[in-house]
Amino acid sequence: MHTTSLIKSTFFSLIILVLCTGSLNSHAGNHDFKQIKASKTLRIITWQGTESYLPRAGSPPNIELEYLQQFADKNKLEVELISLKKFDALIPALLAGKGDIIAANLSITQQRKKQVKFTSSFAETTEYLVMAKDAKALASGKALAGRELAIQEGTAFATTAKGLAKFHTKLKIRKVPGEIGRDEMMDKVASGEYDLAILDSNLLSAMLKYRNDIKKSLQASSKRKIAWAVRPDSKKLLTELNHFLRDHGLVKKAGGSKKAAAKTQWDRIKNTGTIRFVMRNNIPSIYIWRGEIMGFHNDIAKKFAKDHKLRYELIMAPDNASLLNYIVEDKADIALGFLTPTQKRKDKGIAFSRPYHYSSEVVVTHADDNSIESTTDLKGRTITVRPSSKYWATAKNLQKTTPSMKLVAAEDTMDTEEIINFIGEGKYDITIADSHLVEMEINLKADVKVVLELTKPQGQSWAVKAGNEALLNKVNRYIKKEYKGLFYNVTYNKYFKNLKRIERHHEDETSHRTGKVLSPYDDFVKKYSERYGFDYRLMVAQMHQESKFNPKAKSYAGAVGLFQVMPRTAKQMGFKNPAHPETGIKAGIKYMDWVRERMKVYEVREDELVWFTLAAYNAGAGHVADAIRLARKKGWRDDVWFDNVEKAMLLLSYKKYASKARYGYVRGKEPVNYVRSIKQRYEIYKQRT
């Protein structure tokens, strides 16, 4: 996937408040760049249907609006995101002055050019028909006679479908709700409810990496150019945007000389304007939480690309061996994964940067295990590690001095974090891991501990293909500049030091309360629960779970306030200070209402809807959607949370299932425990009131 994937999701993903057109703030008359600067706000119009997903081979789905965020930062502007339910409402909203720019995978068409002005094109896409995997293949366009093509009105796909129908007069067009997401569309195609649909090639390629129930069919369109749109009178804004696109290498500079042939890997990267990073889908590297792409390696890769004015693509390695194979095979430019330089890896054709992190190898066991004080205590124990990891050699050396220690090979698809998790669950006996990874796991849940340190701190590096000296030099300069600097320290602490859930800053309010008073904020909770149709006792239980009634609470991910609302979510709902008790409560309950509407798309049982909503509030609607699909495949009820979809959510912690999920890996225990804890407290509250 290349630059088209820049456009395939919104910056704020599923956490955005969907606004109705009638409620948007409009600006009468010309609102060009001068007026935008005066207002200090750039208003971006986008579409609800563009969803986030785990980028497995291409630019991250939020990249389009990340660039607009950079544009806004450069010009000292705040971003106001306006997300509309209907795609065909985008241009009318722009022309009515209700936003300044459209960023929504918008194709340049002759009809649209009559209404709006487009920036320089920064991506191209080709559309294809999609059908169920077991459906009879279409030999040619003639086979479309009598077939039915599902489309969402106002999209570029709809324009393509209508063009096909004019040429193939017996092709039927079926209009489907604009609120349905891409994966939901494909679910209906796979089940046979929809006969055919349309997707662009890059999004389809990404989908085919995690689902095997659909297939690519005939090409439906020629290449389409993608761009941002502004009003015809926004001439200065258009100029500034085009300058930004050229300055950041997203489009070629007009009149520029032909680029010289690439002599080095770095030349190729500069010529294409794109750098490719390969990593694993896990918390240290990249994952999705509450609709946002997060991860230590993702964050530092993004900054490297930004500093060098490059687009960045992310490739998810299916297993740990592939992480380095992709470098050797030139499927990626840089591998990130706390890699320790070893001679075996160097012999494979890998070159390593200067260290960007140091870590010791340690023995890990269950938190209740007090039997190991030295290596002699490893007699008769079973140690589980991956053969492709550096830990295997360490374990083999241990066996030389402790022959009775049994060594078991873990599957190479397993991350070290997954193995550590199995130690905590009692499924494995002991393992070896890097100290920082164990520290992260202990921060999240204290069911494992370190009992022995086997090595001194070892340097860990970025990896590139041997011989790519120019690229390696760029990496080394970047690491020298950033290592232990402000950005590095803040980012490292975010993912490895501050991962604990909300600390108990003060005594649990419910431990000494009696009667009908449940919290210090009952009046506010009752007020907004009634407004949005929730049982206030349930909302108090959720508030306790989120913040322990501490309005100043802040999570490692940046969520704040009594309901731990993400700052971007609060901002898009119009709340500037969610740390204020009443504001935080209103923001949390209003967002719960939005998430509930999102969950209704999945047709869960009405009396179960609130549990799905809570799970989505905690982990993100995307992970819940993945769990619903997995439950269906497992033969469990997909409309019941407890003992059904929650079981599927737990499975998404394992690579076997996460690799086939749109949103990838998730710590399934967190949303499962979250919902059960709230339900338990809710039942107590109901008895008291």
Which active-site residues does the annotation give?
546
CB 288 within 8 Å of CB 663: yes
Place of tokens 């750098």: 275
Give which of 88, 64, 228 is closest to 155, Cα–Cα: 88
Token representation of residue 221: 């369109």
Q: How far is CA 465 from CA 265, 308, 317, 470, in A?
A: 9, 20, 16, 11
Q: Nearest-CA neighbor of 191 among 132, 130, 144?
A: 132
Token pair listed for 103:
């960023």
Q: How far apart are CA 256 and CA 258, in angstroms?
A: 7
Which residue's entry shows tokens 């929650």? 646
Q: Which of 418, 423, 441 is nearest to 383 (CA)?
A: 423
C-alpha–C-alpha distance, residues 240 and 221, integer Å: 31
CA 615 to each of CA 542, 596, 605, 645: distance values in angstroms, whole numbers, following the listed order: 11, 10, 15, 10
Q: What is the distance of C-alpha 237 from the center of its chain?
A: 30
Q: Are strands 334-339 and 458-465 parallel, antiparallel or unpaired?
A: antiparallel
Kindly give the interhelix angle for 609-619 and 669-688, rounded to the nearest 10 degrees: 130
- Residue 262 to residue 334: CA distance in whole angstroms: 18
Give yes or no for a contact between 169 and 95, defined as CB atoms under 8 angstroms apart.
no
Q: How many Cα atoms occupy the beta-carbon half-sphere of 221 within 13 Å?
A: 23
User: For 284, left (φ over 0), alpha (ψ -120 to 50), or beta?
Assistant: alpha
CA distance 263 to 192: 51
Q: Which two tokens stand for residue 512?
A: 């000494």
DSSP string of 80-145, one letter each residue: EEEEES-GGGHHHHHHTTS-SEE-SSPBP-HHHHTT-EE----EEE-EEEEEETTSPPP-SGGGGT
Nearest to 110 by CA among 173, 156, 167, 50: 156
Alpha helix locations (H) across 252-308? 265-272, 296-307
- CA atoms of 453 and 435, how far apart (whole Å): 8
